[in-house]
Amino acid sequence: MPRSMYNHADKQEDKEKSYIELDSTETEIIKYLNDNYKDVILLVKSSAAMELDWLKQYPNIKAVVYSQNVTNALAKVFSGEVNPSGRTVDTFAADALASPAAQNFGSYQYYDENGKATKYNYVDYAEGIYVGYKYYETRYEDKVLGQGNAGDYDYAKEVVYPFGYGLSYTDFKWSDFSVARHGNDFVATVTVTNTGDTAGRTLWNCTRSRHTPITTSGTPSRRHP
């Protein structure tokens, strides 16, 4: 869960934030770049998902590159020598504190066999298997299909960048999708064609739910800014 910055920040406005939000200094830098440059590529060096809903306030930030390390390989991506093919491994929510996990978060402690509280805490994931991207994607599906108890749900406002999102310097086309059953196994095949002018690679994923047929995609069907 997003850790509070109350004990880790100097300014009061930053104390009220979590560590996945921009602090006041970072906000000043972002605003300066947006006000003084027309085409800004933002490099986020982090191993955790951040709240990126503020990007819509800065139209001159054209892209975000997410990386845990700054290496020569990253420079090749920026220069165009290497075509990126990575995808996000987490959901970048507009407000992480609005997630079900955050609503069920508390100071739950483990107790030993003597009934004494230990130093270990846990989170009550009342949403069951629908943790992280599964919650956002499943609720979106329920909303579109008019099933379950999705309620008044706006996926685009909840999710800035979905699980599996990524850009490339080229375009790809997926065709000839088929599934064959061999006993207890299923084999899925698809033809992936680079339709652009730049060499590149892409990731293909195949998912199936208990109630729906197998679907395939290279990039999420919902478009995001």
Instruction: Give the list of residues 6+ apart from residue 33 with CB closer than 8 angstroms, or none.
Output: 40, 42, 58, 60, 61
How many CA atoms, within 13 angstroms, populate the side-chain half-sphere of residue 115?
0
The DSSP string of 136-159 is HHHHHHHHHHT-TT--S--HHHHE
Decide if 56 contacts 62 (C-beta within 8 A): no
30 near 22, Cβ under 8 Å?
A: yes
Closest CA to 78 of 32, 135, 40: 40
Q: pLDDT value at position 223?
A: 37
| CA separation for the pair 160, 189 (Å, rounded) | 30
pLDDT by residue (tens digit) across 69-101? 888 888 999 998 999 888 888 899 988 888 887
AA letter at 75: A
Contact yes or no for 177/189 (Cβ under 8 A): yes
Q: Which helix (H) or strand (E) holds 195?
A: none
Q: What is the pLDDT of residues 163-206, one digit of tens each?
A: 889 889 999 999 999 999 888 888 999 999 999 999 999 888 77
The C-alpha angle with vertex 217 and arms to 168 and 56, in degrees rounded to 5, equals 55
Question: In this model, does residue 225 exceed pLDDT 50?
Answer: no
- Contact (Cβ atoms closer than 8 angstroms) between residue 54 and residue 95: no
Q: Which residue has the tokens 């300066």?
A: 32
Statement: residue 107 has pLDDT above 90: no
pLDDT digits (tens, 9 = 90+) for 9-23: 888 988 888 888 899
**Per-residue model confidence (pLDDT) at position 86:** 83
Quick one: pLDDT at residue 16? Answer: 86
| pLDDT higher than 80, residue 1 | no
pLDDT tier at 33, thresholds 50, 70, 90: very high
For 138-148, what is each residue's pLDDT tens digit? 999 999 999 98
The tens digit of pLDDT for each residue in 117-139 reads: 888 877 777 888 888 888 999 99
Mean pLDDT of 25-49: 92
Residue 120 parent element (H or E): strand 117-122
pLDDT for res 2: 58
Check pLDDT > 50 for residue 222: no
Q: Structure pTM?
A: 0.75
- The mean of the pLDDT values for the chain is 85
Interatomic CA distance for residues 49 and 29, integer angstroms: 20
What does the block give as tokens for 19? 């560590």
- pLDDT higher for 32 or 214? 32
- Which secondary-structure segment (H or E) carries 190? strand 185-194
In b/e form, how buried is each residue of 17-37, taking b as 16+ CB within 10 angstroms?
bbebbbbeeebeebeeebeee
pLDDT at 28: 96
| 41: confidence class by pLDDT, cuts 50, 70, 90 | very high
